[in-house]
Structure formats: C-alpha cells, structure tokens
Chain A
C-alpha cells in the first residue's frame, strides 16, 4: 500500500508551506514536493497607485527583509525617474548601501542564530521541545545574546537610514530622504559595548568559527545532506566582486562554467522565464537559454559565493578563500554549506558597514538626483535570501500599470524541491517507521535556504509544516502537524 506524508506546516521559516511525500508499498519515496499554499497578490493591487508609493507599499510583502523590497522597488523607480542606477548622489547611494548591508546583517543573524542554530546545537533528531531558540538561550546563553545583539545592531542601522526598523521610508525615487548625523554615526562606531561595529566584526568572525567547528565534527552529514549539482545565479559587481546592492547578472553551471555572462538586469526577461505548476502558488523560474528542465538555478549566499570572483573586504575575503578552497575552487553544491556562506556574508556586511560609517559622504546634504522621466524600470538587488527582481511600468499620469516581482525564494523554488527530494530519499525512503526527526530533516533542508514563503507568494502568516500519510488508493491514513 503506498502512502503520502504531508509536513504541514514547515516550521522556523518565514511564511506558510507544506511538504508532501508519496511512498510506495515498500516505503520508497516516489514523489516529494514543497507546496506553497498562500496567495497575496501585491503585483495586482499596486496597479493604479502612484509609482512613488511602490517602495513603501510593496515592502509590506515581508516583515523580515522589507528593506530588500524597498530598495529593489526604488531602484526600478530610479530608472523611471531618469536617474538610473549610476546617477545617484554619493550620499544617496551610500545611505542605501548602509541600509541594505544592515538588513543583510540582521536577517542573516536572525536566520543563523534564531532559526538554524537549534538544529546544529541540539541535532536534527532532538525532540522539538529542545530544538528551539528558547533552549538555545537556556543552554548557550552567550551565543543567544550574540544573536539577539547582532540582529539589534542591523535593525538599528536600518532605523538610522530608513526611519524605522521595519517598513521605513528612507529610499525615494532618485535618492534618499535623510543623511546620517554625526550622533547616529557615532552610536554605531563608538557605541557602548557590545553595540558597536568592532564588536559586530569580532562576533561575525566567531560565528564562522562556530560553523567550521560544527563542520569538522559532522563533516559527512554537512557535506552530503541535500547536496546536489545546480546552476547558480546572482548579481556581481562589474569587476566580479561580491556586491549585494548593485551589479550585473551572472550565472554559472555546477562545474563553474558561465552560462549567463554578466548581463544588464534591465533585460532580465530576455534571460529568465517563469513556469507555473498547478500544485503551488510559487512560480518556477528558469534560464531561458538552458530551458525549463535544466535551467533552474540556486540563489542566495551559496550561489553568490559561487558566482563572485572575490569579496572586497579583507576578513571576509580570507574566509571566502578558505570556503572556495574546500571545493578546490569549484562551485559548492552542498546545501548545508549555505550556512557557511551566509556567515561569511555576515562578516562582509559588518566590514562594509564599518567602511561606510567612516565615509564623510554620509553627512552630506545632496540627497536626491533628478533626470528625464520614462515609463519602465527594473530594479534588482541581492536580498538576504538571494536575487530579487522588481519590474514596473508607469503611465503618463504617474500610475503603475504593471508590476512583476521575482523574489529570492521563488528563484530557489526548484532547488528547495530538489533538496526535499534528496533528503526524503536519504532519510525516509525504505524506512519502516516515520519518525519526527526524519520530518525535521526535510525541514532542515528547506530551512537552509532561509526561505521567505510569504514573500515568494506575496503572502503572510506563520509557516506551519504538516505531513500526511496516504495509502495507494489516495486514502488519508495519518497527519502529523507541527
């Protein structure tokens, strides 16, 4: 008798989704899918609104990384107001960069310390009552405090640049609406321990060491868990450097061959298509030149560290060299190494923030640039979870007529499904009994991508995980819900 397992809801991720796993008579996995079951419709209801509302309105897709949507939208509008990505004033661009790297810092810290660390510290098989941030705080107090304070630091950077920690208004078409005062700057540069940038850099280095230590002790699991070859896509700076705010689109295959050659993202529709499947609200993007079947790709920290040539900050570059050396310079296709890559980006973000905080351009008053208005623009940014596309068309009356969003988690749709399949095959296939820890292993694979399913379907709500058990005739035998 075949059976169907449903994990609903998936926990410790942003948003709401479920996993279904079909088993045959011998408990072999015959199909597994990550379903995204929410729908919101931001792309529709932004239509007819004045274009300058988009960065403030559309960012409400998400409460975790609204800054990414805020900035991707405003970058598209920069094009529409004729300023373009290269026409911002130094203060405008640097304030936005500071906002964005603050966002990367806080979101990555949240993911690693609050969401992922319970799996690493207590083990995938640990009971759910143990496998949570409260227990981390109880048993690893110092680490938990670091996580909370690092997130706070990033959030304070966002407050200082966007006006408030969640859903600010800082970036406006053509620039920014405030600079950074000396007092605000010194709060971050000379703040009372631990809330200062030097301590953040020190803790970021320590977090990488924490992961490396875990890796040393669990090398087989970390290297083989949900490891599969894939293409990788991200923005890179024109010289190939890691740049999370702006650049050109680059994609490589699993061997490291370039399959998208540093192209201008204004023409993203020439390169990227989106496929719809009837069992998920989340679309499946693919590279058109490779095709629907093989053109899917990963985005996010792992992809970024695979596509870029170097990291333009010294400590992160050193960590990057070690990361690349582990795979002999070849692309890293191991899903759990996403945590390693994410922590290297945390360190890079801290170093970039320090450099920006010491830049006197942030205290200048030339905030907004002007240009000749046009009717269409695309904004792309590297959000914490990966490449984020915003595309708008605006009519002569300044109202939005079209909006297309491809968010990071959507780009990772097929890889996450692939990861679920890999883990289901590894951990569940052929097993006589289904244990809770096996289901958590599926979640661990999804969680590594730090998915934001709310963003991906433009939906809201917590992310539950449910596993249903079906027999060969499709009769529901059992459901386990977390």
Chain B
C-alpha cells in the first residue's frame, strides 16, 4: 500500500500517495491546477507550462513534479496566476485562433482557460502566422492554425503495437504535427474520434462531424474549466 504523505497548497493541508504528481494530488484534494498538455494516465511532458506552481519557493511544473512530505506549494498566488494568463495569451497570439467559427468552441480547453483567466485582449502582438490546413487524411483534418504543440495526440493515440499515429515534423518555429501515413492507414473511426477529443484545441477534427453538440450542452457552457475538480 502506497505511503500517505502530507503537504500544503496555499496553506491548506493536503494528503497524497507518495510518488503522485502534484497536479493529480491537487485534484484529489479538490484543488484545481490548470493543465493543457497533461493527460491523466499518460506520462507527463511539462511542455505547456500552464500548470506552473511555486514549490518550496521555486517554479515547477505540477504535472511532472511528484509531491513529497512537507512540500509547500503556492498555486493561487497572483504572480503565478498572471504567468499562467500570459502563457494563454502567448498561445492565442502565436497561432490563429478564431473561436467564433471553430467547431471546438465550447469544448476547447484553451478557450475555457482564457475565459477562466478573464483574458480580454492579449498583451502581446498577434503574429498571424501563415499555417496550413491539411485534409488529405480520409478521416481527419489537421488545422495547424490552432495547434499548440502539446503532443497529446503523439502520446495518447497509438496503434495496437504501440506505434504513435502522430509525430512532430520540421524543426524550430516550423515544427508541426503530422499523421503517420503508414501506421494511420488502418485508423478506426473510434481512434479518429479519440484523436479529436484528446486535442485540447480544434487542431484535429473528425471529418463530417461538427457542431453536433448544441450550444448550452457543450463541456464549458455552464461552468468554467476546473469547476468539476473544485466542486467534487
């Protein structure tokens, strides 16, 4: 049986199993730490940095840092919240995110975070990059305008032998997600839906399945992202 340890988040005493990542331990203690690249049950990468917390005085990513006995974590500190908001703003300005016509609107984690953090207008300059929309795959469309390079699809969508169906291509600021044509040849409808659902934004879309969730029934229509954890 895993050892139970004690730690605090914003001064509130919490318990967790030894070895648990901070973000998972916080969730079990009904404390929300925002995430984007993290997928519960899949090895974390800490690439988006939105889950940054201050651990014993140092900034760490909550999805990759295990809790330890007596750890003091700061989560809702105004400076940390502002850093998170800045990360969200950077993501919006770095890509082309036109929420009004995006079919992921209402189910989009990036959009939901922008609402939660009350992003009105980004403090950074829009880059308006020229990005592609790829529709050659029979089941999926990739809209690179919206991709935040979180690698969720690469890490979560695999064939029966464990091959990732998605990968990174190109380098530096030109890096983008590609679908492996060899391994994705036999992609099932279920895998295609899973890939679209695992994408936190509207970068991976299942062909011919759009806007089926009516407004009011979408994931974040009624409650801000994180409410499910805070209200557990």
Residues of A within 8 A of B (CB): 48-50, 52-53, 56-57, 60, 81, 162-164, 167-170, 172-173, 177-178, 397-399
Residues of B within 8 A of A (CB): 100-101, 103, 133, 135-136, 141, 205, 207-208, 210-217
A57 to B100, CA, bound (A): 7
A170 to B141, CA, bound (A): 22
Q: Which residues of B contact A178 (CB under 8 A)?
A: 214, 217
A48 to B131, CA, bound (A): 12
Known contacts A50-B135, A163-B216; is A169 also within 8 Å of B100 by CB? Answer: no
Q: Is the interface of A mostly helix, strand, loop or mixed?
A: loop
Decide: B208 and A48 in contact? CB cutoff 8 A.
no
What is the minimal beta-carbon distance from A265 to any residue of chain B, in angstroms? 25
Decide: B141 and A50 in contact? CB cutoff 8 A.
yes
Q: Which residues of B contact A173 (CB under 8 A)?
A: 208
Select which of A81, A172, A398, A399 is within 8 A of B211 by beta carbon: A172
Decide: A53 and B103 in contact? CB cutoff 8 A.
yes
Q: Would you give 22 A-B contacts (Cβ < 8 Å), ordered by A? A: A50-B141, A52-B210, A52-B211, A53-B101, A53-B210, A56-B100, A56-B101, A57-B100, A57-B101, A163-B214, A163-B215, A164-B215, A167-B100, A168-B215, A169-B214, A172-B210, A177-B212, A177-B214, A398-B141, A398-B207, A398-B208, A399-B135
Known contacts A398-B141, A399-B135; is A52 also within 8 Å of B215 by CB? Answer: no
A236 to B137, CA, bound (A): 42
What is the minimal beta-carbon distance from A396 to any residue of chain B, in angstroms? 9
A57 to B210, CA, bound (A): 13
A397 to B207, CA, bound (A): 9
Closest chain A residue to B207, Cβ basis:
A398
Decide: A170 and B101 in contact? CB cutoff 8 A.
no
Q: Which residues of A contact B210 (CB under 8 A)?
A: 50, 52-53, 172
A57-B100, A167-B100, A398-B141 given. 13 additional CB < 8 A pairs? A50-B210, A52-B103, A56-B101, A57-B101, A60-B100, A163-B215, A164-B215, A169-B214, A169-B215, A173-B208, A177-B211, A178-B217, A397-B135
A473 to B75, CA, bound (A): 73
Q: Which residues of B contact A398 (CB under 8 A)?
A: 135, 141, 207-208
Decide: B100 and A170 in contact? CB cutoff 8 A.
no
Decide: A56 and B207 in contact? CB cutoff 8 A.
no
What is the minimal beta-carbon distance from B120 to any residue of chain A, in angstroms? 19
Q: Which residues of B contact A170 (CB under 8 A)?
A: 214
Closest chain B residue to A396, Cβ basis:
B135
What is the minimal beta-carbon distance from A260 to any residue of chain B, in angstroms? 34
Known contacts A50-B135, A398-B208; is A60 also within 8 Å of B101 by CB? Answer: yes
Known contacts A60-B100, A60-B101; is A49 also within 8 Å of B133 by CB? Answer: yes
Closest chain B residue to A162, Cβ basis:
B215
Q: Which residues of B contact A53 (CB under 8 A)?
A: 101, 103, 210
A169 to B214, CA, bound (A): 7
Closest chain B residue to A395, Cβ basis:
B135
A163 to B216, CA, bound (A): 7
What is the minimal beta-carbon distance from B174 to any residue of chain A, in angstroms? 20
What is the minimal beta-carbon distance from A56 to any residue of chain B, in angstroms? 5
Closest chain A residue to B209, Cβ basis:
A52
What is the minimal beta-carbon distance from B11 to any residue of chain A, in angstroms? 41
Q: Which residues of B contact A52 (CB under 8 A)?
A: 103, 208, 210-211
What is the minimal beta-carbon distance from A269 to any residue of chain B, in angstroms? 27
A50 to B101, CA, bound (A): 11
A170 to B217, CA, bound (A): 12
Q: Which residues of B contact A168 (CB under 8 A)?
A: 215
A95 to B69, CA, bound (A): 59
Q: Which residues of B contact A399 (CB under 8 A)?
A: 133, 135
What is the minimal beta-carbon distance from B61 to any residue of chain A, in angstroms? 34
A397 to B134, CA, bound (A): 9
Q: Which residues of B contact A177 (CB under 8 A)?
A: 211-214
Known contacts A164-B215, A167-B100; is A48 also within 8 Å of B207 by CB? Answer: no
A465 to B136, CA, bound (A): 48
What is the minimal beta-carbon distance from B106 to any residue of chain A, in angstroms? 9
Decide: B211 and A169 in contact? CB cutoff 8 A.
yes
A242 to B7, CA, bound (A): 72
A398 to B210, CA, bound (A): 13
Q: Which residues of B contact A164 (CB under 8 A)?
A: 215
Closest chain A residue to B136, Cβ basis:
A397
A48 to B103, CA, bound (A): 16
Q: Which residues of A contact B207 (CB under 8 A)?
A: 50, 398
What is the minimal beta-carbon distance from A55 to any residue of chain B, in angstroms? 8
A163 to B100, CA, bound (A): 13
A397 to B208, CA, bound (A): 11
What is the minimal beta-carbon distance from B94 to any residue of chain A, in angstroms? 21
Q: Which residues of B contact A81 (CB under 8 A)?
A: 208
Closest chain A residue to B212, Cβ basis:
A177
Q: Which residues of B contact A163 (CB under 8 A)?
A: 214-216
What is the minimal beta-carbon distance from B137 to any residue of chain A, in angstroms? 9
Decide: B135 and A172 in contact? CB cutoff 8 A.
no
Decide: A172 and B141 in contact? CB cutoff 8 A.
no
10 closest Cβ pairs, A-B complex:
A163-B215, A57-B101, A397-B135, A178-B214, A52-B210, A169-B211, A177-B214, A56-B101, A172-B211, A163-B214
What is the minimal beta-carbon distance from A171 to any residue of chain B, in angstroms? 9
Q: Which residues of A contact B136 (CB under 8 A)?
A: 397
Q: Which residues of B contact A60 (CB under 8 A)?
A: 100-101
What is the minimal beta-carbon distance from B147 to any residue of chain A, in angstroms? 16
Closest chain B residue to A54, Cβ basis:
B101
Closest chain A residue to B138, Cβ basis:
A397
Closest chain B residue to A178, Cβ basis:
B214
A397 to B136, CA, bound (A): 6
A172 to B210, CA, bound (A): 8
Q: Which residues of B contact A50 (CB under 8 A)?
A: 133, 135, 141, 205, 207, 210
Closest chain A residue to B137, Cβ basis:
A397
What is the minimal beta-carbon distance from A109 to any residue of chain B, in angstroms? 23
A20 to B84, CA, bound (A): 54
A178 to B213, CA, bound (A): 8
What is the minimal beta-carbon distance from B144 to any residue of chain A, in angstroms? 12
A424 to B100, CA, bound (A): 42
What is the minimal beta-carbon distance from A158 to any residue of chain B, in angstroms? 11
A81 to B103, CA, bound (A): 18
Closest chain A residue to B135, Cβ basis:
A397
A168 to B221, CA, bound (A): 13
A12 to B224, CA, bound (A): 39
A173 to B210, CA, bound (A): 9
